[in-house]
Structure 1
């Protein structure tokens, strides 16, 4: 498989943070989004950002900004679709998605997702975190998606589908399971308290 391209999903409404773009909140010497870019860009062949509204607010990131092609706030699958359409235009076969508010996701995310999809002969692979009590907990905004599924996804969204796993289960999505080491690598920032916790995790990192 040639290297997938990447799409960062930044279209959330951030209601628990008072609205606006969570990805532009400060973290360390950068922003949540800059940390995500720094982790994902070495793993993919090209990188774009999915966000709606005025794209100029992301100018300093130096990335293409792709709006949803589905009207209304259709959730993360609309961002995946934008990424699939962009990947097809790049001549890529796969796109990997990551959330803009999750600054500590694994640096081997793409390799692990690619391997999981290949071993299962599946067109989709989702990341998951192993929970000692409940088993693997899927992280549906972190996935590897086959570009050939974009027409099927567009039809599903236009019919009203919004829940990611309902669509991925239909296509027999594989899983790449990651261990908490020492914390959930898919910890995401939803509240001011989460942002403070992310700052403390960053400062404690070696």
Structure 2
């Protein structure tokens, strides 16, 4: 399988952080999203950012921005669909998704997901703490079924992927998927760097 397009999911509303873009918060001397890009980019054939609102706020990243195609912030599945739609225009057969607020994501995320994806080419990450549903390998061929599922009201990643025989790539360390949701999480992440 060729290297997938990487899709960084930043389309949420960050309500627990008080709004704004969590990925743009500083972690050390660089933004959280810079850590995500540094870990994900070498594993992928290009990156795109899934984000809603004014894309100009991400201009300094130099990445294409793909907003959700559905209204009312229906969650990460809408971001996955935006990434799949973008990948269809660039000729990629698969995307890999990662959250914009997870600065310690695994440096072997893509190869492990590809191994777990098998023939279907669909897999989610997991760690000892449980599933990590915003980290996944997704075939572009699932665009139609995913669009229909969202139209039908499906919002849970695991509910959709279970119906499509997703594999699971289990990683040994929960810290790799630590995400910054609150000010306390940001302090913890700063202590981890």
Name the TM tier (shorter chain): over 0.9
Partners of 1:32 and 1:41 lie apart in 2 by 14
Question: What residue in structure 1 maps to residue 24 of structure 2?
Answer: 24
- Contact preservation (8 Å) 1:140, 1:164: yes
Partner deviation per Cα, 1:66-104 (whole Å, 9 max, x = no partner): 100111111000000000011111111000000001100
Unaligned runs of 5+ in 2: none
CA shift for structure 1 position 123:
3.3
Following TM superposition, the consecutive aligned residue runs of length 4 or more in structure 1 with deviations greater than 2 angstroms are none
Q: Alignment length, in residue pairs?
A: 193
- Contact preservation (8 Å) 2:114, 2:121: no
Pairing 1:95-134 to 2, within 5 Å after superposition: 95-118=95-118, 121-131=119-129
Pairing 1:38-187 to 2, within 5 Å after superposition: 38-118=38-118, 121-131=119-129, 137-180=130-173, 184-187=175-178
Structure 1 residue matching 2:176: 3-state secondary structure = coil
CA shift for structure 1 position 2:
1.0
- Contact preservation (8 Å) 1:41, 1:47: yes
- Contact preservation (8 Å) 1:123, 1:171: no
Unaligned runs of 5+ in 1: 132-136
Q: Tell me the C-alpha RMSD between the 2 structures.
A: 0.9
Highest CA radius of gyration, 1 or 2? 1
Partners of 1:33 and 1:170 lie apart in 2 by 31
CA shift for structure 1 position 184:
2.2
- Contact preservation (8 Å) 2:77, 2:157: yes
CA shift for structure 1 position 122:
2.7
Partner deviation per Cα, 1:109-148 (whole Å, 9 max, x = no partner): 0010011112xx23310000024xxxxx110000000100
Partners of 1:63 and 1:38 lie apart in 2 by 13
Question: What residue in structure 2 maps to residue 134 of structure 1?
Answer: none
TM norm structure 1:
0.92
TM norm structure 2:
0.98
CA shift for structure 1 position 30:
0.8
